[in-house]
Amino acid sequence: METSRVSRIFRMVTALQSGQRYTADDLAKMLGMSRRTFFRDLNDLRGAGVPCHCDKKTHHYTIDSEFFLPPMHLNSQEALSLLLLVKARDNIHLPFKDLPLRAALKIENNLPGKIRQSCNTILRSISIKAVPQAKTELLNKIFAQLLKAILKKRVVNIRHYSPLKKKTIVTDLSPYHLRHDDYTWWVIGKSTFHKRVHTFELNQIRELNMLDECFTEDKEFDVDEYLGRAWSMTPEGRLYNIKLRFLPEVAHSVAEVQWHSTQTVTFEDDGSAIIEFRVDGLNEITWWILSYGDQAQVLAPKILRQKIIEIAQNTVKQSEQLLLA
């Protein structure tokens, strides 16, 4: 389950355990989601074994008050899982990244001695390599400003640089959602420059100012529906049937990862793998394919194959020019 949905479900649990009486409409409004998203998350909550009930007369939702144990009553596996999650925090470039560590230390210090000793022994035998992360000195400040703007429904003015288009734009943005993907943080919201919902990389925001203007919440906005079948963060408005062949050297390592919700895999007799996707847009998946070099072949569509060929030819040309210099 993706991070945004987990966050929503945690907020839903907090609301349902507060003792207040909420209907589905109340909770959807409070949590900033559509009714359809609310019921989908509610099903995930019930699927995880949480006894969430609806009163048939009042239509209020509740969780059995005895269901959750006090927070510090953790067994060794629960404590280890929590501390391991904090240890893996470098895999997501978290703003204020020292805070999860401080929280974990507080929890660790309150664990029974036997459990604390067991966790420390196991954690010394586990290491997690940090994945590459986009770096920016402004991340904490920008993230905090956007989070405040989202909570207060305030419009912000941003100056954003686009590396792909090699230009800077200035736009008023009504921020709806923050999302971590592809090693960096993004903000999704209504942009006056684009006259539609658009995504912006936080590390490319050069300046941000909160305005006095407030925006009206779009109750129909759903981040999962907006991103749709985009490969990553940028839907382009056109679906393509992608068909790729990965050679035997990398076939199994590629096929064992679920890269996209539409992915299908067929193994050939020679050990190669035919992997197919139905993806919105070509730009993002192009760079993913190129990361596999000569171990990936584009079978369809033709326009994607041509993009790969042009980039490869330009790479060879630039390398040859350096050799001749």
Give the pLDDT score at 1: 43
Q: Return the pLDDT at 269.
A: 96
Please identify, among 206, 227, 248, the residue that sits at the C-terminal boundary of a domain: 227
Q: What is the CATH number of the domain that holds 246?
A: 3.30.70
Among 182, 202, 227, residue at a domain's last position:
227
Residue 132 lies in a domain: no
284 lies in the same domain as 305: yes
For 322, the token pair is 């350096």
Range of the domain at 86: 76-123
Q: Is residue 232 one of the residues assigned to a domain?
A: no
How many structural domains does the chain have? Answer: 4
Residue 100 has a CB neighbour count (10 Å cut-off) of: 15
Contact 266, 285 (CB under 8 A): no
pTM of the model: 0.65
Which residues lie closer than 8 Å to 316 by C-beta, 6 or more apart? none
Q: Is residue 130 part of a domain?
A: no
What are the tokens at 48?
């995880």
Asked if residue 253 belongs to a domain, the reply is: yes
**Strand order of the sheet with strand 273-280?**
264-267, 273-280, 239-246, 296-300
In a domain, 35, yes or no: yes
146 exposed, middle or buried (CB, 10 Å; 0-12, 13-18, 19+)? Answer: buried
Picking from 179, 204, 227, the residue at the C-terminal end of a domain is: 227
Decide if 233 is inside a domain: no
In this structure, is residue 71 part of a structural domain? Answer: no
Both 19 and 83 in one domain: the answer is no
Per-residue pLDDT of the chain (325 residues; tens, 9 = 90+): 444 555 677 678 777 776 778 898 988 888 888 888 888 888 877 776 778 888 888 888 887 766 654 455 677 777 777 777 766 665 666 666 666 666 666 676 677 778 878 877 877 787 777 666 666 566 788 998 999 999 999 999 999 998 877 899 999 999 999 998 877 889 999 999 999 999 999 989 999 999 999 999 888 888 888 998 999 998 998 999 999 999 999 999 999 999 999 999 999 999 999 999 999 999 999 999 999 999 999 999 999 999 999 999 999 899 888 888 7
